[in-house]
């Protein structure tokens, strides 16, 4: 009941020379893994891991960048959405689009202002059998809102139609900035939310601004339980986040710019029985407690995140993923790269980008070593599998691809809608000279003998290995008015081992690339289901784009064949 789908294109030999063509400039550097997005400004990161992937969320600085005409100063006033990226290898990141918080929160009426500095968590609800996701965000400096979803990429909804924590919440006032939430679910299943920021309030001092707070959440995670308590965080300013290690609560925050009086610090150390140096300005600090609602239980443990010199502020998240801890933070690397290549005006400033570096943590003692901020970034923890369907928006680097070039295939599908406005399956518009790079791609010892591209429009996509300027080893000449898969045969001897793969558009006319996949030499061909009038049986099987059968519950994104029908996952 299947027919072969091979739409054969001309095979291009490995000896063909690279066209004498100007290729788009990269902003992050070929050997660098930071920032995690080579073309999207985003900041104030948080993260969760789910089904083997690390999802990072951040303030959508790029929304302000576009609003400002790609120049000027980022003053954050037009940021009303959040960015979502994910990875399973720490070097290739999938851009999932944006969560349009302004649209999600239309029911707030005039109560919604901005969406900054998210914090996320998730849990499995035993009573319903479902996974539940919770995202908390700073609604300007006024209050904290919450969104909920059934998956890490949405669709998201506002369960309260108003803020969760505000100045009216018991125990919050006085608090200059009721923002920058940090959420954690502890080992007992209890949710906690930290928040707060700003210069000292009317009951605070330079060393104890009195703006940091924490509050217990009810089992719903969308209501508070009791009153907030103040956290005695020295030189606190903003950027709250929470972790749990070995039964202890770890609170992280950014320090302020206040004068550090030796007398004040010596008294603080004496009162607390510690011998730690006072924190430098705008650094990431941390405290530890075994009872979050007892202010006297919190112990200051020092600085773990230095000031990112290329950013005017500091905000980070500490996260354990696949056995390693990572310091996820923002800086100005992408802006520097764009300025250096004349991609934006020299007066552009304070547009931030998210970076990740490994950090050493002793969970037994809740001790975090001071992190290093590098352009090289985190090392890869696994190889990218070219024999699985890969989205075009998964990349380690790119050139000529802009934030606004990521568009939707289907805008109104309930399965893939992120936040009323963006979809899981995005497509990337490629212009002549633009390119996408995937790092650490493992073709194995057998090699690949076929390549499938899902795209629409007219274009020529060349595959190059090792560097974007090296010889072309295969070419797809594509022309279609609708999204379509096209397969070409390739030389398996060229596609073996670990490679850095470049997809280069040498010609493009409304050319949108959605996904790609290689086929291992000797594997069965891509198959397309033919309509069958018979009713599907309970024993019907699910296959991926390569015709391989998938086991029940196996995670898969892309085209699959299920019950005799081709569907998207």
Distances (CA, A) of 305 to 24, 91, 426: 34, 21, 34
Rounded Cα gap, residues 328 and 371, in angstroms: 10
CA quadruple 125, 366, 42, 79: dihedral sign: positive
* CA nearest to 525, candidates 6, 16, 1, 58: 6
Which uninterrupted H or E stretch holds 267? helix 262-272
Active site residue 44: yes
231, 251 Cβ separation under 8 angstroms: yes
Under 8 Å between Cβ of 196 and 175: yes
Residue 180 is a catalytic residue: no
d(CA 99, CA 78): 14
Q: Determine the Cα–Cα distance for residues 383 and 91; give it in Å rounded to an integer.
A: 9
The 10 Å Cβ neighbour count of residue 497 is 11
Q: Show the tokens assigned to 162.
A: 């108003």
Is 559:389 a contact under the CB 8 Å cutoff?
A: yes
Report the C-alpha gap between 21 and 433 in whole angstroms: 7
Under DSSP, is residue 540 helix (H, G, I), strand (E, B) or coil?
A: coil
Backbone angles phi, psi at 153, to 5 degrees: -115, 20
Active-site residue, selected from the candidate residues 238, 405, 432, 462: 238
- The structure tokens 């004496």 sit at 270
- DSSP assignment of 493-528, as one string? GGS-SEEEEEEEEEEEEEEEEEEEEEEETTPPPPEE
Spatial neighbors of 530 by CB under 8 A, at least 6 apart, are: 1, 2, 3
Nearest CA among 369, 466, 528 for reference residue 31: 466
Which residues are designated catalytic? 44, 238
């Amino acid at each position: 009941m299947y027919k072969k789908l091979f739409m054969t294109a001309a095979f291009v030999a490995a000896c063909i020379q690279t066209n004498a063509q100007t290729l788009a400039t990269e902003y992050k550097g070929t050997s660098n893994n930071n920032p995690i997005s080579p073309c999207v400004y985003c900041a104030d990161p948080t993260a969760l891991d789910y089904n083997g992937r690390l999802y990072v969320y951040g303030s959508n600085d790029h929304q302000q960048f576009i609003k400002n005409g790609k120049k000027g100063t980022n003053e954050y006033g037009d940021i009303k959405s959040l960015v979502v990226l994910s990875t399973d290898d720490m070097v290739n990141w999938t851009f999932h689009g944006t969560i349009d918080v302004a649209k999600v929160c239309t029911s707030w009426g005039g109560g919604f202002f901005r969406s900054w500095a998210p914090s996320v968590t998730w849990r499995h609800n035993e009573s319903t059998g479902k996974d539940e996701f919770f995202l908390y965000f700073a609604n300007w400096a006024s209050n904290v809102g919450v969104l909920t979803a059934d998956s890490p990429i949405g669709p998201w909804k506002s369960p309260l139609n108003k803020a969760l924590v505000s100045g009216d919440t018991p125990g919050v006032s006085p608090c200059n900035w009721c923002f920058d939430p940090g959420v954690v679910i502890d080992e007992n299943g209890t949710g906690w939310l930290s928040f707060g920021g700003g210069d000292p309030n009317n009951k605070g001092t330079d060393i104890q601004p009195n703006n940091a707070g924490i509050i217990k959440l009810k089992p719903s995670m969308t209501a508070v339980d009791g009153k907030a308590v103040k956290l005695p965080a020295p030189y606190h300013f903003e950027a709250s986040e929470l972790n749990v290690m070995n039964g202890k609560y770890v609170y992280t925050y950014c320090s302020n710019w206040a004068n550090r009086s030796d007398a004040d610090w010596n008294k603080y150390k004496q009162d607390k029985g510690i011998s730690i140096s006072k924190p430098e300005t705008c650094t990431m600090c941390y405290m530890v407690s075994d009872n979050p609602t007892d202010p006297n239980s919190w112990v200051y443990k020092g600085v773990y995140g230095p000031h990112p010199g290329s950013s005017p502020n500091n905000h980070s998240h500490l996260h354990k993923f696949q056995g390693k801890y990572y310091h996820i933070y923002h800086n100005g690397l992408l802006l520097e790269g764009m300025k250096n290549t004349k991609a934006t005006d020299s007066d552009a400033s304070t547009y931030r980008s998210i970076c990740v570096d490994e950090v050493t943590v002793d969970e037994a003692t809740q001790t975090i070593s001071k992190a290093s901020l590098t352009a090289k970034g985190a090392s890869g923890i696994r190889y990218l599998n070219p024999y699985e369907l890969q989205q075009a928006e998964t990349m380690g680097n790119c050139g000529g691809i802009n934030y606004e070039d990521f568009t939707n295939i289907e805008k109104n599908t309930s399965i893939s809608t992120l936040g009323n406005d963006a979809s899981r399956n995005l497509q990337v518009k490629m212009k002549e000279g633009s390119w996408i790079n995937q790092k650490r791609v493992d073709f194995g010892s057998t090699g690949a003998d076929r390549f499938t591209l899902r795209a629409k429009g007219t274009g020529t996509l060349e595959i190059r290995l090792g560097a974007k300027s090296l010889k072309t080893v295969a070419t797809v000449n594509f022309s279609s008015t609708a999204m379509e898969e096209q397969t070409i045969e390739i030389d398996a001897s060229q596609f073996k081992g670990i490679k850095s793969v470049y997809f280069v558009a040498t010609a493009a006319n409304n050319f949108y690339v959605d996904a790609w996949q290689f086929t291992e030499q000797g594997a069965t061909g891509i198959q397309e289901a033919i309509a069958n009038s018979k009713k599907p049986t309970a024993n019907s099987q699910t296959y991926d784009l390569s015709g391989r059968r998938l086991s029940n519950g196996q995670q898969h994104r892309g085209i699959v064949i299920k019950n005799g029908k081709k569907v998207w996952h």
